[in-house]
Structure 1
Amino acid sequence: MIKITLVAGARPNFMKIAPIISAIKKSQAKGIDIQFRLVHTGQHYDKKMSGDFFEQLNIPEPDTNLEAGGGTQAEQTAAIMVAFEKELMQNRPTFVLLVGDVTSTLACSIVAKKLNIDVIHVEGGIRSGDMSMPEEINRIVTDSITDHFFTTSEIANINLRNVGVEEERIHFVGNTMIDTLYLNKKRFFKPRGSQFEDLKKGNFIMLTLHRPSNVDNETQLKAIIETILENTADFPIIFPVHPRTALNLKKIAINYERLRMIEPLTYLEFNYLVEQSKGVITDSGGVTEEASVMNIPCLTLRETTERPETIELGTNELVGTNPEKFKPYLINLLSGNWKPYKGIPMWDGKSAGRIVDKLIQLYS
């Protein structure tokens, strides 16, 4: 029997794990002796991550929640490690499967390896080159002790080869986030409320901001938002506000009728708006992937990205964080003269099936 411990700690992790769970269940239906245990570390919790989120994406309730949220980076890492060690000692798996690059990914990979349990990293090998990002440290440390890597791009494969990872441990399978997108595309729906009533395809812009470099400095945050508003004509800006961003927005007293600041949305609501929008302005990595596949223009307010394939083959442009420098991109967005999606290899909605098939081959 293959016993898998699946680990998720933040909302994007569950989007990446959902199709893997579905693929495991399909293998079970074929009579393959494969079991899984879903562990939620509790790293992030919000109401959109509770019942309706799991129901929307057809994710089973976690078998356990380690409830290790809150505190500093070190406190959270330590809390996850202590709780996850107990979990693995009580329910020892064949291997631990981790996704993404959050604190939970790092903490649980260390615990598993110290218990001599193989580590599988889905989305391994991606790099931004920016060591000021906690996620970059998480990626590097996790990948340094990973046994098998499931990668999203040839660029990630090259990154791993460059640090000496053997070819037989690198498995190019594509992107499970895109599996989730394709699986749920027909189920997207418009949010309810007066903020959304006048929205039609192409007549509004989506905005998301949460990176410390953009939102922790009040002057920078104000400059970014004012530059966006000054260079987007009369388009409404739909802005689901991240809790981190909300604190500083209150301090700078931004108040424009066109800027519609709303509560975080569910997955199906958010992606409905992305698909219907004129374009997306973001500092999120995952949003650049989804926008590219939906052929929606995307401006990323960062100096580096760990997803260069979204720039080379997708609709994403890395526009930096200097408001003066990203003005021309806003003008280009409004002109309608934006590069189209060219297609990213293996981002076809079948990545999870390839992952599970390879795991069965490796561990049967």
Structure 2
Amino acid sequence: MHLTLIAGARPNFMKIAPIIHAINEANNNGENIQYRLVHTGQHYDHRMSETFFEELRIPNPDVNLNCGGGTQAEQTAAIMVAFEKDLLANPTDLLVVVGDVNSTMACSIVAKKLNTKVAHIEAGIRSFDLSMPEEINRMVTDALADYFFTTSLWAGENLEKSGVPPNKIFFVGNVMIDTLLKNRGNFKRPSFFSELELKKGAYFVLTLHRPANVDLVENFKSLMQEIIDNANNQPIIFPMHPRTAKLFDELGIKAPNLKIVDPMGYLEFNYLVENSKAVITDSGGITEETTVMGIPCITLRDNTERPETVKIGTNELIGTNPDAIAPTILKLDKGDWKKGGIPELWDGNAARRIVDRLINVIR
């Protein structure tokens, strides 16, 4: 059996890593699974791509398509053109895509036009918000895929409602959590941790990058000011996404407790999260990791494609209105935050289940 695995952006690498490890484990047990790793180059900053191959012990990709930058359409088109040439030169039994980035959708379209079957890992999650580029990527990928691997029963229900046959849907758990649990003992203390005199449970981690929060200067500024004003002088560590950094300078915000740091590797970032008081974010993946680590998570979004992190986990969805920040942090300070639990099958074995299924469906 031959697989082609697609990785393009930061979240992909955490999802692909356990698949590769599970393939290697299966081969050690007598299987014969060959794979080709294609890096689309969607994230081209070293700290947001190559670093992850090093830290997560993923082999260097067989090819880097170098399709970073550009608008949504330009990037998607560049990936399609480059990947079509690559797939024609290197046919495969099955294309495996993960998540919901442009690479996921673009490579799925190319594969199906070349009569190649597609397996989608993290299929069926939905925000039901078409203003999110990721939602469009999810919908298109799931409309084309042949096999669907889900992180929750809820995601499977979404697929069935859209007409996917139940025998094509496999509830396997969350590969992001496979990576988290495998690497938890190797988290690295960032060099600035001592320099900034950070103490466990006494600082916030902030990540913002979604257009609804950062593209409108006044809204971005109001969000930042509310977070700063209500942090009670506790440090706010803000690893700044390259996209956000371009916009931040326009705000003119300076505060002694706001600490801007460069984008971080996986091991350092999760050390920072695990030792924080809480995370304030608009990311989806981080809400999964904080749920498993038991860290309070405040999500500045009006919807989420990961409702289990709210219903079961430590995440609270508070919307994008800056006025919601003060009462939410007050709730945290009073010790009223929910303890949370861990969703079903988020146990570190999702990738093994996926590889077992792939062996069965491809044979």
Q: 1:152-163 maps to which residues of 2 (within 5 A)?
A: 152-163=151-162
Higher mean C-alpha displacement, 197-206 vs 56-65: 197-206
The alignment yields a C-alpha RMSD, in angstroms, of: 1.1
Q: How big is each residue's C-alpha offset from its partner over 1:38-91, in whole Å with a ceiling of 9 and x where there is no partner?
A: 000011111213544312100110000111111111111111111111111111
Q: 1:190-201 maps to which residues of 2 (within 5 A)?
A: 190-193=189-192, 196-201=195-200
Q: How big is each residue's C-alpha offset from its partner over 1:215-257, in whole Å with a ceiling of 9 and x where there is no partner?
A: 1111011100110111121210000011111122111111001
**Corresponding residue for 1:222?**
221
Q: Secondary structure at the residue paired with 1:338?
A: coil
**Corresponding residue for 1:328?**
327
Q: 1:138 is matched by which residue type in structure 2?
A: N
Aligned partners of 2:346 and 2:180: how far apart in 1? 10
TM-score (norm 2): 0.98
**Corresponding residue for 1:36?**
35
Task: Say whether 1:245 aligns with 2:256.
Answer: no
Q: Secondary structure at the residue paired with 1:358?
A: helix
**Corresponding residue for 1:82?**
81
Q: How big is each residue's C-alpha offset from its partner over 1:119-146, in whole Å with a ceiling of 9 and x where there is no partner?
A: 0000000000110000000000110011
**Corresponding residue for 2:209?**
210
Task: Say whether 1:144 aligns with 2:128.
Answer: no
Aligned partners of 1:201 and 1:31: how far apart in 2? 45
Q: Report if the CA contact (8 A) 1:320-1:326 is conserved.
A: no
Aligned partners of 1:44 and 1:273: how far apart in 2? 22
**Corresponding residue for 2:309?**
310
Q: Compute the displacement of 1:330 (Å).
A: 1.1
The 3 A distance-change label for structure 1 pair 9 and 52 is closer
Q: Secondary structure at the residue paired with 2:104?
A: helix
**Corresponding residue for 2:168?**
169
Moved over 4 A (4+): 194-197
Q: 2:73 is matched by which residue type in structure 1?
A: A
Q: Report if the CA contact (8 A) 1:18-1:180 is conserved.
A: yes
Q: How big is each residue's C-alpha offset from its partner over 1:136-191, in whole Å with a ceiling of 9 and x where there is no partner?
A: 00000110011000000011011001111111000000000000000000000110
**Corresponding residue for 2:300?**
301
Q: Report if the CA contact (8 A) 2:17-2:56 is conserved.
A: yes
**Corresponding residue for 1:96?**
95
Q: Secondary structure at the residue paired with 1:157?
A: helix
Q: 1:282 is matched by which residue type in structure 2?
A: T
The size of the alignment, in residue pairs, is 363
**Corresponding residue for 1:20?**
19
Q: Compute the displacement of 1:343 (Å).
A: 1.8
Aligned partners of 2:8 and 2:177: how far apart in 1? 19
**Corresponding residue for 1:284?**
283
Structure 2 runs not aligned, ≥5 long = none
Aligned partners of 2:273 and 2:214: how far apart in 1? 21
Q: Compute the displacement of 1:206 (Å).
A: 0.5
TM-score (norm 1): 0.98
Percent identity for Structure 1 against Structure 2: 58
Aligned partners of 2:194 and 2:256: how far apart in 1? 11
Q: Report if the CA contact (8 A) 1:298-1:315 is conserved.
A: yes
The 3 A distance-change label for structure 1 pair 156 and 51 is closer
